[in-house]
Chain A
């Protein structure tokens, strides 16, 4: 039930167009027995079906700029492999602290966010 409620709350927030993983992962780490890596893994998996349904809608509405994405995706794949291998290699405690620093920065950006 705890997992369902954490999923529900983070889903509500991401449905409003902010957050997503930035709230799901700390909620899991702070309130469930899962490790930092397991919590991050859940966020990665849950994103996949949500992304597919969002992409279908955005494609129909012609909101995706396909032309510019290829170099970003290709270099992104290299980054993703490096980042993931490092994440599964380091200790959960260090990853948790680094995530906390990252989250602090995201929190400040959200707090001071201004529309373009």
Chain B
């Protein structure tokens, strides 16, 4: 029970504070601490993060941080992109993709800090 409460509070905090990243805590926690299979861990993580994101969104809106026009444009691109992404998923090695993606994130991270 303690591990569940800790998983919740840490992932909720990160997800609210960084507007993302709840899954990076919940998925491995469900997989390695609570022994769910990988696909179940991913699916269950979405159920957990969903109410947390709704609450965080509400707080961001109340404080004037949600701009409706960029939201709609990004959402439109994102929906189209996720359909394309799901279709090309099997054509690229996911191991290579993860390594490339990791490098992109590290470069972006360095640019954000300095």
Contacts and interface: CB of A to CB of B under 8 A. Distances in A.
Given A16-B92, A44-B57, A71 B82 contact: no
Given A49-B75, A71-B8, A87-B19, A82 B13 contact: yes
B113 A21 contact: no
A15 B84 contact: yes
Contacts of A81: 12, 16, 55, 59
Given A11-B80, A51-B50, A75 B9 contact: yes
Contact of A104 (B31, B52, B59, B106): B106
Contact of A10 (B5, B8, B78): B78
Nearest to A3: B73
Interface string A73-114: 111111111111111100000001111111110111111110
Nearest to B86: A15
B4 A71 contact: yes
A66 B46 CA distance: 11
Contacts, number: 353
Contact of B12 (A30, A49, A80): A80
B25 to A, nearest CB: 10
Contacts of A69: 44, 47-48
A42 to B, nearest CB: 5
Interface in A56-79: 58, 61, 63-66, 68-69, 71-79
Among the interface residues A39, A43, A76, A98, which one has the most CB atoms of the partner chain B within 10 A? A76
Contact of A75 (B4, B54, B60): B4
Interface in B35-70: 36, 38-40, 42-44, 46-57, 59-61, 63, 65-67, 70
Interface string A2-13: 011111111111
Contacts of B77: 3-11
A79 to B, nearest CB: 3
Interface of A: 3-30, 32, 34-35, 37-52, 54-55, 58, 61, 63-66, 68-69, 71-88, 96-104, 106-113, 115-116
Given A16-B88, A25-B19, A42-B66, 6 more contacts: A3-B70, A9-B77, A22-B105, A26-B111, A110-B98, A113-B98
